[in-house]
Amino acid sequence: MQITNSASRFTNHVSRITHHVLRIWRKAMAKTAQVEVNDRGLLSSLQEFFRSVLESEGMNAMLVPRHLEQKNVIMPVLISDPEQLEGADPLAPAFPVNGARIVSKLTRKPSGGKIAVVLRPCEIRAFIELVKLKQARTDEILIIGMDCPGAYSNRDYVRFVEEKGEEGVARFCQDLFLGKGTDTERIELSPACQSCEFPIPEAADILIGLLGMDTERHFMVQALTQKGENLFETLGLSEAGEPKERQSAVESFVVERKACRDKMFAETAAGVNTLEKLTAYLSSCVNCYNCRAACPVCFCKECVFVTDVFDHDPSQYLKWAARKGAVKMPTDTLFYHITRLAHMSTACVGCGQCSNACPNDIPVAELFRTVSHRTQEAFDYEAGRSPDEAPPLSVFNENELGEVVGIN
């Protein structure tokens, strides 16, 4: 266990600065291409690009969001047949599951093949945390990240498609990437997406840039790692500069999201700043544990809340009721959430899947993001920022806290 002091925080601070400098340098040196959009539109052009990746030498499969035969359902699908990419749709504002856990299943042990994975920025950041927690490997995968416009909740996405149709999805992306915002009169993006300041997949091997691009004509492909450069050369992409409008579009997008984030932090903190308020905030929890199952960085092989520790005898409930006069059922709901906050707030990437999975629409994501932001600030740590940063509480330093215990 790591007891973090000023020395270890300084180490993380140096690591963060080094990562920031390297990121700027890599971005300046990155190979960049502008891929022409065909007559059928942006989605068709992306599907063509994915096909070229899947058909490249040594690639065995691709994990990508794809329409299923069931109505209005999009899920990650592992594809080996390039013909099956016709239904791929990474642009749809649907986010039914954080793909980091799926990629973890695909990479925890050697698979004997190479897989390209198309992920949102928060999925990439969660995957980096899982790699650091020894739950995943990077050896056999190529990460393709796309600028993320955000997504609706599962329920709202179904409503969105029913009201707007397929043309609505295309218009959603075009308006958002050109800085025109979204139609929020009836349906809003999930709170996690509205407050996410990480729309650019900086930790990908290949970045597909859409913000600030004229997506009726081009999209950007940028190689961010050696793996990405190798694919760039294999596909024979022609280098072209990054459009000058892109940087300002990204900055404007991030400023807007940070404003939403800070407002969410303030409102959430005010709503849970006493035990009574926190109890009320979580009062409709039924201990379904959906939030735990949906969280990409909650990985314990055995959760204490499904062990005998919380399998109370019937007489215990009667004793509690007799002592208090009344006891809410099911019990332990507040303790469950506090335990999860203490357990994984250092690794939370704010993807919002906990709220997406809640049957009673408790704003779990807002609470976890607010607490995890403060926790990570305290450790000078940002979940998913860099694979080189050790997670807080994971390393023991022999000479830590000498000023506290009085040993020089």
- Strand ranges for 98-172 from DSSP E: 114-119, 141-146
Token pair listed for 20: 């920031």
Alpha helices in 272-407 (DSSP H): 275-281, 290-294, 314-324, 333-344, 353-357, 364-378, 402-405
Mean pLDDT calculated for residue range 384-401? 79
pLDDT class for 2, splitting at 50, 70, 90? very low
Mean pLDDT calculated for residue range 385-400? 80
DSSP string for 24-87: HHHHHH-EEEEEEP-TT-HHHHHHHHHHHHHTSTTEEEEEEEEE-SSTT-EEEEEE-SGGGGGG
Greatest pairwise CA separation for the chain in angstroms: 76
State residue 23's pLDDT score: 52
Residue 262 pLDDT exceeds 60: yes
At 38, phi and psi to the nearest 5? -80, 180
Tell me the one-letter amino acid at 244: K
DSSP string for 284-316: T-----HHHHH-TT---SS-GGGSGGG---HHH
State residue 398's pLDDT score: 67
State residue 274's pLDDT score: 96
Mean pLDDT calculated for residue range 150-154? 91
Mean pLDDT calculated for residue range 204-218? 92
Cα-Cα-Cα-Cα torsion 317, 318, 321, 326, nearest 10 degrees, comes to 80
pTM of the full predicted structure?
0.87
State residue 257's pLDDT score: 94
pLDDT class for 179, splitting at 50, 70, 90? low
Q: Which residues, other chains included, contact 234 with Cβ-Cβ below 8 Å and sequence gap of 6+?
A: 56, 57
